């Protein structure tokens, strides 16, 4: 089989940035199951956080990140994130990412749970897309080999070390193997687990499944972030209405026009995401509605059209002028906080296997991600992966020091009396209803039993849809069982039967096959 120094699986910001840096160290292959432009990165409207203003500091950025993480952030990893952020922003500028400027300086915006403006944007609400397009153009022109429409199906491990990857050519149905010294998983998240989500169709938990089956540790899967404000209109797919809209002054109202967020949190609309999402859910239940409303009609129309051109145009295309009318919104699944457990160099417990971006669990986010730290995390730790492999190119790499963890493995579940027919819609409805924003023992137990039975009933996958279905079910099991084990509420994980945070659970739930 063809041999490479580096194989990168995934083509979001983490994968592309890693590939560009790794090219300086050796041969690189990028494998992606769609086109190089299919990923969650381009859906990131909010921006990328970094302490680059004279009033800001890495210490302030760290404080905000740790506070959002609700007792579970790895503070050493957070310090790396915030201290290396300005240099990584400079790298993106060097790659010609067109960040928005004001009077010749990069413009900085306010977002929820940040103590001051530190969020950079490109094209207003098109930050992720601009970064993705810029990096994909760099990769295309660099001579890096890219295989599109290849779905990775198995990590090849020999004597405890990565040997390569097996992949399905999705159109022809053929299987190929590729060898490597270093394998970097950058496959993104698993938003397609949920009926309402803001993710690309490709977010089906592929990397979690690959890594788990290879013997890698998977951490913090119970923490899944639900974005408070996704467009909720009949017949319209959930479309992200950026955090930055509230940062710019947008307010949340119920159907009667009452501004309700002050009833739930002193910061109102700028409370942490999990608080805002749950508050909206409570309001929806109180009023019997499936939506609340985000109001920006008090802002100057030119501010809205210039600052949020994508959101403005998308809503206008669906008959809604947000400069004049309220925006109907509801929470939707947005970001997988847990993932493949890594140390501060992106290393896993399998020699030669690394992870970056949303599929990785670096420990930065803890129990809840601070807005706009995700794109930053991807570039900071991607850089460190390439530094590590360059410095250690002739040595074996090993995993980092273990922190306080609870280790578990998936067990058997009783077969439910009534087993729904397995399919994408059924998986999404099950997770939304039983493993969504607010959870309880009964619902989690039901979901865990159904998912286990579905997994047992599956025939071996042979094509892209069957692999993705299988990957979603396993990823869903890891998420659901972790949520069942954690008998408390913390960050993005809310148990109605255990509504308080418990010191006993200031630890990480780790899965290993």
Does residue 170 belong to any structural domain of this protein? no
Does residue 456 belong to any structural domain of this protein? yes
Beta strands in 430-476 (DSSP E): none
Residue 507's pLDDT is 96
Q: How many domains does the chain have?
A: 2
Does residue 470 belong to any structural domain of this protein? yes
Does residue 47 belong to any structural domain of this protein? no
Q: Are residues 329 and 231 in the same domain?
A: yes
Does residue 493 belong to any structural domain of this protein? yes
Give the rounded percent of residues in the chain with a pLDDT score beyond 90.
86
CATH at residue 475: 1.20.58.100
C-alpha distances out from residue 148 to 16, 141, 145, 165, 254, Å:
13, 16, 10, 15, 45
Q: Are residues 328 and 413 in the same domain?
A: no
3 state SS for 17-46: HHHHHHCCCCCEEEEECCCCCCCCHHHCCC
291 is catalytic: no
Does residue 203 belong to any structural domain of this protein? no
Does residue 359 belong to any structural domain of this protein? no
Give the sign of the dihedral formed by CA 142, CA 145, CA 150, CA 152. negative
Alpha helices in 187-340 (DSSP H): 206-214, 243-247, 273-287, 301-307, 309-317
Does residue 23 belong to any structural domain of this protein? no
Residue 40's pLDDT is 60
Domain's final residue, options 295, 312, 334: 334
DSSP state of 128: H
Q: What is the pLDDT of residues 21-75, one digit of tens each?
A: 999 999 999 999 988 876 666 566 678 999 999 999 999 999 999 999 999 999 9
Residue 273's pLDDT is 85
Angle at alpha carbon of residue 97, lines to 93 and 99, rounded to 5°: 85
Check: CB of residue 207 under 8 Å from CB of residue 216: no
Q: Are residues 318 and 416 in the same domain?
A: no
The whole domain housing 449 covers: 405-511
Give the separation between CA 447 and CA 443, rounded to whole angstroms: 6
In the chain, which stretches have pLDDT less than 50? 393-402
Task: For residue 87, give the 3-state DSSP assignment.
Answer: helix
Identify the active-site residue in 88, 118, 273, 278. Answer: 273
Domain's final residue, options 288, 314, 334: 334
Q: Are residues 409 and 501 in the same domain?
A: yes
Residue 417's pLDDT is 86
Give the separation between CA 478 and CA 409, rounded to whole angstroms: 9
CATH at residue 287: 3.90.700.10
Residue 112's pLDDT is 83
Q: What is the pTM of this model?
A: 0.94
DSSP-assigned states of every residue in 373-404: -HHHHHHHHHHHHHHHHHHTTTS--------S
Domain's final residue, options 306, 334, 362: 334
Q: Are residues 231 and 314 in the same domain?
A: yes
Give the separation between CA 185 and CA 69, rounded to whole angstroms: 24
Alpha carbon of residue 196 to chain centroid: 15
Task: For residue 428, give the 3-state DSSP assignment.
Answer: helix
Check: CB of residue 323 under 8 Å from CB of residue 287: no
Residue 55's pLDDT is 95
């Amino acid at each position: 089989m063809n041999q490479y120094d580096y194989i990168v699986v995934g083509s979001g910001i983490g994968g592309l940035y890693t590939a560009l840096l790794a090219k300086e160290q050796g041969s690189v292959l990028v494998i992606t199951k769609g086109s190089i432009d299919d990923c969650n990165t381009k859906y990131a409207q909010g921006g990328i956080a970094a302490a680059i203003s004279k009033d800001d500091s890495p210490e302030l950025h760290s404080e905000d990140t740790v506070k959002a993480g609700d007792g579970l952030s790895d503070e050493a990893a957070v310090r790396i994130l915030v201290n290396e952020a300005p240099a990584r922003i400079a790298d993106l500028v060097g790659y010609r990412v067109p960040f928005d400027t004001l009077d010749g300086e990069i413009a900085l915006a306010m977002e929820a749970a940040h103590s001051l403006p530190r969020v950079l944007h490109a094209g207003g609400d098109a930050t992720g897309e601009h970064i993705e397009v810029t990096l994909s153009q760099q990769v295309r022109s660099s001579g890096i080999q890219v295989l599109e429409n290849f779905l990775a199906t198995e990590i090849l491990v020999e004597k405890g070390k990565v040997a390569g990857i097996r992949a399905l050519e999705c159109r022809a149905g053929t299987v190929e193997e590729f060898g490597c010294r270093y394998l970097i998983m950058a496959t993104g998240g698993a938003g397609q687990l949920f009926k309402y989500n803001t993710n690309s169709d490709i977010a089906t938990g592929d990397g979690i499944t690959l890594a788990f089956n290879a013997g890698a540790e998977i951490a913090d899967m119970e923490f899944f972030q639900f974005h408070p404000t996704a467009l909720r209109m009949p017949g319209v797919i959930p479309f992200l209405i950026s955090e930055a809209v509230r940062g710019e002054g947008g307010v949340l109202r119920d159907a009667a026009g009452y501004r309700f967020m002050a009833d739930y949190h002193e910061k109102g609309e700028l409370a942490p995401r999990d608080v805002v999402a749950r508050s909206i859910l409570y309001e929806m239940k109180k009023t019997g509605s499936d939506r609340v409303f985000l109001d920006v009609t008090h802002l100057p129309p030119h501010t809205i059209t210039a600052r949020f051109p994508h959101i403005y145009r998308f809503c206008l295309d669906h008959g809604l002028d947000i400069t004049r009318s309220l925006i109907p919104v509801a929470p939707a699944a947005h970001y997988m906080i847990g993932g493949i457990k890594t140390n501060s160099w992106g290393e896993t417990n399998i020699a030669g296997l690394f992870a970056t971006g949303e599929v990785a669990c670096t420990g930065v986010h803890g129990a809840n991600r601070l807005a706009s730290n995700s794109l930053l995390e991807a570039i900071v730790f991607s850089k460190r992966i390439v530094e590590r492999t360059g410095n250690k190119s002739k040595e074996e790499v090993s995993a980092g020091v273990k922190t306080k963890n609870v280790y578990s493995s998936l067990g058997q579940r009783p077969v439910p009396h009534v087993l729904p027919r397995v399919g994408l819609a059924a998986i999404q409805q099950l997770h939304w209803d039983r493993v969504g924003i607010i959870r309880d023992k009964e619902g989690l137990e039901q979901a865990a039993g159904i998912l286990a039975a579905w997994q047992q009933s599956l025939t071996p996958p042979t094509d892209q849809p069957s692999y993705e279905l299988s990957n979603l079910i396993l990823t869903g099991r890891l998420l659901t069982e972790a949520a069942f084990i954690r008998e408390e509420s913390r960050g993005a994980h809310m148990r109605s039967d255990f509504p308080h945070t418990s010191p006993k659970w200031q630890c990480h739930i780790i899965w290993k096959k």
